[in-house]
Amino acid sequence: MNGTTDTALVVGAGGVVGRPVLDHFAQQAGWSAIAASRVPPKVGAGIRRVAIDLQDPEDCRRQIAENRDVSHIFFAAYKPAPDPIMEAEENLSMLVNLVAALEAEASAFQHINLVHGQKWYGNHLGPYRTPAREDDPRHMPPNFYYDQQDFIAERQKGKDWNWSSVRVQAPLSFSVGSPMNQVLIVGVYGSICRALGQPLHFPGPSGCFDALYQVTDPGVLARAMQWVATQPSCANQAFNVTNGDLFRWRNLWPHLAEFFGVPCGEVRTRSLVDMMGNKGKVWDQIVKEYNLKSYEMEQLVNWRWGDFIFGSEFDNVSSTIKIRKTGFSDCMDSMECYINSLEKLRAEKIIP
């Protein structure tokens, strides 16, 4: 740092990645933070809020013109779509609109960081090469990650600003309304098992129970994003980010059962969509009994995402050697991370 203040614009600030990243920069000396999304989340003192419609080029330019001090952008926005082709088109257009506004209006613009995930390697399609490395061959598109990185790499040529990307696996943070919120799925599922006097059965197949898996602590992720966005040696590159270790659900499951205070169950393969679809009234009773924050079950969890997580019968493993070679050494025990994340949900009165 040179004594001046950098400004982090966190786009998608209410999401499972955006919110912990926003909180991180709000606490960093030498930084100011801006929360940006169509409906910015409630934030603490000292954090600016920007309501920005990324699908509207004129609104993007107008909002950036009012925040010209933006220096570093952390792009964690995501718009779901009915099919992969439309998803690619819409998520690319949001990035294109924002970058055009930044180049036109933000005189302090230095860096943009893209948040991607393990779908880069095709983990949504089936088994993939592991440990996945950043230069592995791409799968057959469409994949909006590819479109975004190709655009930003081409747009950056000859410019004063640069870019980076993080490819994260399963960030364990809390966000209402995020469809890819793994820790909430586990938290709500375990709480309902306890309320109904049921053991914590594993809902996926035995292949998933025994496969290698990885997750990411939100603090590790936020620090990694700051690192790659500010280190010259990381410019214009992509980096895998996880806790740096691996686990099997078989070994974590007894600890989860202990957290919820229920017996550890068995592998009983069953769709969470089918099993939990009629449990809304059970959840409402839990909320009332334990005086939890009044979220309906559908606001917290997407059981289809849970079926995706617990339906993966192959290893989900990515190498973090590349980022470590740049000097970033943060890591965390993932089983400890999982329990800590559930404890935070309990402390925030989201689960009992």
Write down all domains in the chain, each with its CATH number in brackets.
6-171+215-241 (3.40.50.720), 182-214+246-317+335-347 (no CATH)
Pairing verdict, β 200-202 and 212-213: unpaired
Looking at residue 4, what is its pLDDT? Answer: 62
Looking at residue 1, what is its pLDDT? Answer: 38
Looking at residue 232, what is its pLDDT? Answer: 97
CA dist., res. 255 & res. 247, Å (int) = 12
**Sheet strands side by side (includes 72-75):** 48-51, 31-37, 6-11, 72-75, 111-117, 162-168, 237-241
pLDDT tens digits, one per residue of 89-118: 999 999 999 999 999 999 999 999 999 999
Does the pTM of the predicted model rise above 0.85? yes
**Helix residue ranges, H only, the chain:** 18-26, 57-65, 84-105, 144-156, 182-195, 206-210, 218-230, 249-260, 272-276, 280-289, 297-300, 303-309, 321-325, 334-347
Q: Taking Cα atoms as reference points, which of 79, 41, 290, 312 lies closest to residue 174? A: 41
pLDDT tens digits, one per residue of 190-246: 999 999 999 999 999 999 999 999 999 999 999 999 999 999 999 999 999 999 999
Coil, helix or strand at residue 237: strand
DSSP 142: P
Residue 310 is encoded by which pair of tokens?
Answer: 């617990």
